Amino acid sequence: MEAEARYTWVGAAVIALLAALVGGLLWLKGSGNEAGFQRYAIHFERQALDGLEVGAEVTLRGIRIGRVVDYALADDKLNRVRVEVRLDLRAPVRTNTVAVISRNYVTGIAGIALVTREPPGPPLTQVPEGETYPLIAEGRSEIDDVASRVGQVGDKISFALSAVNQLLSADNRETAMATVRSLRDLSVGLQERLSALDRTLGRLDAAAGSVGGAADRLGQAGERAAVVAERAGEQVGLTLTEAERTLAQARLAIAQIAAAGQTVQQEAAAAARRLEGSATQIDHRLDAAVAELRLSTESATRALDGLRNPRLMLLGPSPSQLGPGEQLP
């Protein structure tokens, strides 16, 4: 019994050791698989996850950067699905990176595509409260965008239908009929005005013919005027040439007159100088002649006095009768 008990304990110990060895190997294998990867959580609320399976690809700009490792309904919200992904550590996951469902519409297989808006934010490392891993936000899928555009188009169609209904109301129909009647009256008036315009154009054609004949006559008159102007121009040219020649002769004559005037001025100045000398000599001679004439006059006066007074001629003048500078003998 004791031997069997020992064998039992030995067998149990061996089994436990093997189990620990297997567990360690599995743990080491799992740790090795997680090396170089980072796990993230994604909460999907608006997008359907049809075709998404564990192991589905996670891509960034078409490049596979990881896989889906788990997904389940969230406990805190009914329409929320929590998806857990494992991504390459080198993948640039940012705070403004969003996740959308991408589908292959031929095979029906779905995956997750990550999109980072511009400009990229800082790396996503913060773990929100109640989560185990950093949380990547949910984005808008292509179907959401199409649905949004369809909704906008539907709104526009509704607005257009409402406008059409309003346009086809009774008041607007009456207004439209009145507009049609006004257009009809306007078309009749336009037809009458077009007829009058045709008649006016006929008269304008006739007037244009008359104007054309007048233009021809005016052209002929213009040609004759051009010939006359050409001849007049030639005559004016000859006259200008003659005037230039006469002007040149006049300039030459003026220059000669100016030279002659300068010569006359010089000769007049010399003559004036000569006359001035002659006048000076004449003044001297006149002074001498006047003095002689004065003496002669005095002598003649005394002779006449002597004839009137014989005593004076015999005895001579008395001292009172002597002139200046005269003395008795």
Tell me: the pLDDT tens digits for 76-115? 788 899 999 999 999 999 999 999 999 988 888 999 999 9
**Domain that residue 89 falls in:** 38-140
Tell me: the pLDDT tens digits for 192-226? 877 887 788 888 777 667 656 656 776 676 677 56
Determine how many CB atoms are found less than 10 A away from the CB of residue 115. 13
Q: Please give the mean pLDDT across all residues of the chain.
A: 76
For residue 81, being part of any structural domain is answered with: yes
Read off the pLDDT of each residue in 275-300 and give the average, rounded to a whole number.
Answer: 69
Read off the pLDDT of each residue in 43-53 and give the average, rounded to a whole number.
Answer: 92
Q: Is the peptide bond before 119 cis (omega within 30 degrees of 0)?
A: yes
Look at residue 30 and tell me whether its pLDDT is greater than 80.
no
Say if CB 102 and CB 112 are below 8 A apart: yes
- Tokens representing 149 are 């555009």
pLDDT of residue 110: 94
For residue 329, being part of any structural domain is answered with: no
Ranges 33-37, 276-280, 307-311, most confident: 33-37
Say if CB 140 and CB 115 are below 8 A apart: no
User: Residue 83's closest CA among 60, 113, 62?
Assistant: 113
Per mean pLDDT, which range of 32-46, 102-116, 246-260 is the poorest?
Answer: 246-260
Determine how many CB atoms are found less than 10 A away from the CB of residue 135. 17
Burial class (CB in 10 A: 0-12, 13-18, 19+), 285: exposed
For residue 296, being part of any structural domain is answered with: no
Helix (H) / strand (E) element for 226: namely: helix 170-308
Alpha-carbon span 53 to 69, nearest angstrom: 9
Alpha-carbon span 112 to 68, nearest angstrom: 8
Q: In terms of pLDDT, which residue wins out, 299 or 124?
A: 124
**Do β-strands 97-103 and 37-44 pair in parallel, antiparallel, or remain unpaired?**
unpaired
Number of domains forming the structure of the chain: 1
For residue 308, being part of any structural domain is answered with: no
pLDDT of residue 100: 96
Say if CB 133 and CB 39 are below 8 A apart: yes
Q: In terms of pLDDT, which residue wins out, 268 or 62?
A: 62
For residue 114, being part of any structural domain is answered with: yes
Alpha-carbon span 219 to 126, nearest angstrom: 98
For residue 102, being part of any structural domain is answered with: yes
Per mean pLDDT, which range of 29-33, 165-169, 228-232, 288-292 is the poorest?
Answer: 29-33
For residue 152, being part of any structural domain is answered with: no
Q: Measured in Å, how far apart are the chain's first and last C-alpha atoms?
A: 230
pLDDT of residue 32: 45
pLDDT of residue 119: 92
pLDDT of residue 66: 96
- Tokens representing 319 are 């001292």
Residue with tokens 């004559």: 253
Residue with tokens 């934010």: 121
Ranges 123-132, 150-159, 214-223, 227-236, most confident: 123-132
Look at residue 31 and tell me whether its pLDDT is greater than 50.
no
pLDDT of residue 298: 72
For residue 112, being part of any structural domain is answered with: yes
Tell me: the pLDDT tens digits for 158-198? 776 776 677 666 677 777 778 878 888 887 877 887 788 77
- Count Cβ neighbours within 10 Å for each residue of 86-96 and write b for 16 or more, e otherwise: bbbeebebbee
What is the 8-class DSSP label of residue 126?
Answer: P
Look at residue 1 and tell me whether its pLDDT is greater than 60.
no
